[in-house]
Amino acid sequence: MLQRVVRSTVIERPVEEVWEVLRDFNRHDQWHGLVSRSTIESGLRASQVGCVRAFTLRDGGFVREQLLGLDDRNFRSTYCIVEATLPLERYVATVTLKPVTDRRHTFWHWSSTFGCPRGEELALCKVVGDEVYEAGFADLRRYLSRSRALARGAVGDRGAAVSGAQGEGSSAEPAVQAVALEGYGDARQLQPQTRRLQRLGPREVRVRQTAVGVNFIDIYLRRGWIPELLAPGAVPGMEAAGELVALGSEVTGLQEGDRVAYMGPVPGAYASGRNVPRDWLVQLPPSVEEEMAAALLLKGITADYLLHDLGRVRPGARWLVHAAAGGVGSILCQWGTRLGARIVGTVSSQEKARLARNWGCEHVIVTGEYRFAESLRYHFPEGAEVIVDGLGAAAAGENFQALADCGHWISLGQASGGLEPLAPDLLVRKSASFSRPVAFAYVATRQALQMRAQRLWSALEAGSFQRPSIERFALAQAAEAHLRLESRASSGSIVLLP
């Protein structure tokens, strides 16, 4: 018969702070008195489901346990014993945390089932219940109060601030889950951690974030392509949505509980909460869910300024849009078609081609190798009047060939690598113009942001484009989200859920 052990307690710290420790499958040697050493086998990451940790116990015993599930949304992890010196068979345990109503305390539920030799049931239940779980509760309390004391004494702790708000993070301010950049490089540089918010500035609001938009610029920043914007140790992310939980003393026209979204030129959105300037904020109409807002705001406002300002779309205009099934591309193609543009799109797969046709492209070029100029000229013999180029280096030569005389090449991004500087004389050959726009410049004032956001929600409401398809990742899995985006596998928008 299976034995069942259940213990619970309340820890006097916010759930994010407790979870930061408990979600780490390779950290018990720092806080649990029974464990003297912990290692993850086979070079896997401690957050990877299926990884096995090997504990050396202080009494000389050992345990190998496998991670079966890690749910950052519900603060739950499940694991089983693979091998142990104690005769615990088919042992499966679950740790679940819940915020207590005042949100400064955490309810911690720890339960397991296991089989064991006849006659040893009582003794083994006592070992698991008392020496592992109850002792663990006390050890974690001690560990957290030690870390707090250290944090208070730390000078220049780079974990202190999530946003660019003034003031040092103080222990009176809430802790949030965040994902920070360990150093420039690949997606493994994105590491979950707990941070403390700074004191709220007078013109700032505090957002409890429920959805964070992932954009290609996050990848450039992670790679270190714009070092002045994101230093190692800082938190990436340019947009999010959620609920207002506090207002600065000079903020008017908003109230706690309002549903909002923001986009801003300073990274820091990969977090469960953030202080942001009031001017970055838009309130959400009832028809726009927070997840949808995070999927849509930056990408939709980009489509808006491209169509209405930079590209000055008009009926019959010939546009070439790269990555036509992507986040920006899918909105731009639909909205542009609705406004009368004739759009040729490029994509890298037949599946994306099917989507791009649905989004209104009258012709779709499937190319993984940035070869499109000849096919474009076949369809638009005079070339494209506007090229929206998020590809960069690898597509530069073909873009110029595809461009019509007097055409406008809009260099939106550089997914394939940075563009070499263009000689002005190159443009002279086609009397062409070249732009290198940035969305944040088009929402630099509160009025501009409100106007564009309103136009976006109205266009969504009017069916000018469909609600974007959303791929969801837990916040702590930001690295997986980046891998997905840079592998060219995604279409539509990607959102992180704190």
Residues that bind ligand NAP (CB under 6 A): 215-217, 298-299, 302, 323, 325-329, 347-348, 352, 390-391, 412-413, 415-416, 437-439, 485-486, 488, 490
Rounded least distance, CB 484 to ligand NAP, Å? 9
CB closer to ligand NAP, 14 vs 327: 327
Cβ neighbours of residue 89 closer than 8 Å, sequence gap 6 or more: 114, 115, 116
Give the nearest distance from C-beta 241 to ligand NAP in angstroms.
16
What span, in angstroms and rounded, lies between the C-alpha atoms of 460 and 296?
10
DSSP 64-101: EEEEEEEETTTTEEEEEEEEESS--EEEEEEEEEEE-T
Shortest Å distance, C-beta 208 to ligand NAP? 25
Amino acid at 19: W
Cβ nearer to ligand NAP, comparing 233 with 418? 418
If the CB atoms of residues 175 and 295 are measured against ligand NAP, the closer one turns out to be: 295
Which residue do the tokens 């089983």 mark?
80
Nearer to ligand NAP, 205 or 376 (CB): 376
Q: Quick check: 26 and 40 in contact, CB under 8 A?
A: yes
Q: Given the complex with ligand NAP, which of 429 and 436 has the nearer CB atom? A: 436
Handedness of CA 338, 342, 347, 350 (dihedral sign): positive
Closer of 12 and 374 to ligand NAP (Cβ): 374
> How far lies 351's CA from each of 278, 345, 489, in Å?
41, 13, 10
Rounded least distance, CB 172 to ligand NAP, Å = 37
Residue among 105, 116, 30 nearest 81 (CA):
116
Going by DSSP bridges, is the β-strand pair 403-411/106-115 parallel, antiparallel, or unpaired? unpaired
Q: How far is CA 392 from CA 238, 305, 345, 420, in A?
A: 21, 20, 16, 9
Calpha distance 233→240 (Å, rounded): 20
Between CA 329 and CA 331 the distance in angstroms is 6
Instruction: Tell me how far, at minimum, the Cβ of 332 lies from ligand NAP, in Å.
Output: 9
Residues 33 and 11: beta-carbon distance below 8 Å = no
Nearer to ligand NAP, 174 or 329 (CB): 329
Contacts of 454 (CB under 8 A, 6+ apart): none
Tell the smallest beta-carbon distance from residue 412 to ligand NAP (Å): 4
SS3 280: helix
Closest CA to 446 of 292, 306, 276, 287: 276
**Six-digit token pair at 371?**
């070869």
For ligand NAP, the closer of residues 391 and 474 by Cβ is 391
Q: 35 forms bridges with which residues in the sheet? A: 57
CB nearer to ligand NAP: pick between 144 and 341: 341
For 396, the token pair is: 């530069």
- Calculated CA dihedral for residues 282, 287, 292, 297, nearest 10 degrees: -30
**How far apart, in whole angstroms, are the C-alpha atoms of residue 445 and residue 103?**
35
* Residue 350, SS3 per DSSP: helix
Specify the DSSP element, H or E, that contains 177: strand 175-181
- Residue 278 or 352: the one with the smaller Cβ distance to ligand NAP is 352
Q: With respect to ligand NAP, which residue has the nearer C-beta, 69 or 368? A: 368
